[in-house]
Amino acid sequence: MTDDDILSYEDSWEEEERDWETLLGTKNITVLTDWLADKCPATLGLHECRLDDGARVNARGNTMEERDAAYLKRCIESSKDIYAKFQQLFPAIYQQFSTISKRDDEEEDWEIFDEFWQSVRMNWMLVANGDAREILKPLRDSHKILTMASIHRKISMSSINMTNFASAVLALKRPDIYSVSRAVDDVNGAYENDAMYWNFPAATDVLRHLAVTYASEMDV
């Protein structure tokens, strides 16, 4: 067997990506993407604990395997639930969606819908806070979006006054996002207090500053 034969055989394992533009059309894609983006922060099957791992950490079970299984079960149930809501709220789009054939490794239709979501999901959609979403949404997508969102969340929910910390970050001309993230953890520790958002203005100022720096880096 030649190298070309091996490569050809390996390529045959991979399914081609679905052409959603052809299957659903631009308008339907936009409608579904906007709806899913709105639902994402509060829907486990959509956010999958990418920004806040509370549901994963707090899954019930006596062992790691039991907790992982319980978490996975909740994820699947959530994905099925959002698919059912899609059918109810968008019957015309669903009628078109229902014509899409399942692949060999897909047992149920909600799995096709999940693949669609994976293809349109952007990191800002995982963010729950409205102000933070608006700041992050226009930026080019990358994992740094989640890092900035995490910084905003940790400062907002800190149990100590973070005003001086925020002032120090704002004094930096081009702050490094990952360095700021590590500094937040060092200053703030692991404890969060979500009962009061006294640090929210400071957190938002820091996020805006980081977003400006990030945007300028992306333009280079």
Instruction: State yes or no: pLDDT of 104 exceeds 80.
Output: yes
Instruction: State yes or no: pLDDT of 32 exceeds 50.
Output: yes
DSSP letters for 65-90? HHHHHHHHHHHHHHHHHHHHHHHHH-
Q: What is residue 49's predicted lDDT score, i.e. its pLDDT? A: 81
Instruction: State yes or no: pLDDT of 7 exceeds 80.
Output: no
List the chain domain ranges. Answer: 17-121, 126-219
Q: Model-level pTM?
A: 0.83
pLDDT average, residue stretch 133-162: 94
Give the ranges where the chain is alpha helix by DSSP (H). Answer: 3-11, 20-24, 26-39, 44-47, 54-57, 64-89, 91-97, 109-120, 130-136, 143-156, 163-170, 177-188, 200-219
End-to-end CA distance of the chain: 46
| Separation CA 91–CA 107 (nearest Å) | 22
**Quick one: which of 195, 208, 197, 192 has its CA closest to 132?**
208
Which phi and psi (to 5°) does residue 197 adopt?
-110, 55
Which tokens hold the place of 94?
Answer: 């669903």
**How many other CB atoms sit within 10 Å of the CB of residue 150?**
17
Q: What is residue 217's predicted lDDT score, i.e. its pLDDT? A: 87
Written as one letter, the residue type at 97 is F
pLDDT digits (tens, 9 = 90+) for 198-216: 899 999 999 999 999 999 9
At 220, the pLDDT band (50, 70, 90 cuts) reads: very low
Instruction: State yes or no: pLDDT of 157 exceeds 70.
Output: yes
Maximum Cα–Cα distance across the chain: 67
At 140, the pLDDT band (50, 70, 90 cuts) reads: very high
Size (the chain), residues = 220
Written as one letter, the residue type at 56 is R
pLDDT average, residue stretch 40-59: 79
Percent of the chain with pLDDT over 90: 70
Quick one: residue 101, left, alpha or beta (phi over 0 = left, psi -120 to 50 = alpha)?
Answer: beta
28-32, 98-102, 187-191: the lowest-pLDDT one: 187-191
| Separation CA 14–CA 12 (nearest Å) | 5
pLDDT digits (tens, 9 = 90+) for 57-96: 666 767 777 777 888 888 999 999 999 999 999 999 999 9
Average model confidence (pLDDT) for the chain? 87
Q: What is residue 4's predicted lDDT score, i.e. its pLDDT? A: 53
At 16, the pLDDT band (50, 70, 90 cuts) reads: confident
| Separation CA 117–CA 126 (nearest Å) | 12
Percent of the chain with pLDDT over 70: 84
Which tokens hold the place of 215?
Answer: 């945007």
